Amino acid sequence: MLEVKSFDRKTNFIKWLAIVTMLIDHIGAYLVPESVLLRLIGRISFPCFLYTTVQGTKRTSNFPRYIIQLLLLGFVSMPVTDQTFNILFSLALFALSMKDKRLILPCFFLSYFVEYSLYGFILGWTIYFISEENKWIGLAGFLLLQFSSFPSIQFYAILALIPIITDFNPKLVRVPKLFGYAFYPLHLWILRLLQSFLI
């Protein structure tokens, strides 16, 4: 019982980390485009969202509803994202492939057309292996993927490994259900509005 509570706190912390680093990243992208530091910090966000997607897919009692909610939020986000098929579509494809292994190949090919492309799909599977299957195979895949992206700023997604592989699980306010995903279109709409006034 104690292990479950500890695990829940870890996932909750990673959800908060994903949300905060995503916000920092998008403040940099939309309001302070000259700040490389903000974009670098933002690289932590996507692997954290993949980790929470692994946990969400594993724990949800209604997977079809989980996927529909991801896709609906993805469509709501489309008018304000630079990439037509945004990160929520990336997470949905990964979740589908994780839930039904027969969908791995079609989801892999479809991921070419969404944000983070094949890189994001493969990264999701390395995180799945780290947390659910063989940690060392997952780590090897994760590191290989990140080092292959060097010197791109995306390399700094490697920093997300720290919370993913450690047992750091501070007691924080619980992230409301789906808030992490719903925050995506919400904060983008607000930042786009601010951008139109400030820049």
pTM: 0.90
pLDDT in tens, 158-182: 999 999 999 888 888 888 877 877 8
> How many whole angstroms separate alpha carbon 39 and alpha carbon 26?
8
pLDDT in tens, 103-152: 999 999 999 999 999 999 999 999 999 988 788 999 999 999 999 988 88
Angle, CA of 110, 184 and 131, to the nearest 5°: 65
Task: With cut-offs at 50, 70 and 90, classify the pLDDT of residue 33.
Answer: confident
| Residue 22: closest CA among 94, 77, 93, 92 | 77
Range of the domain at 133: 2-198
Contact 73, 185 (CB under 8 A): yes
The predicted pLDDT at position 5 comes to 43
- Count of domains observed in the chain: 1
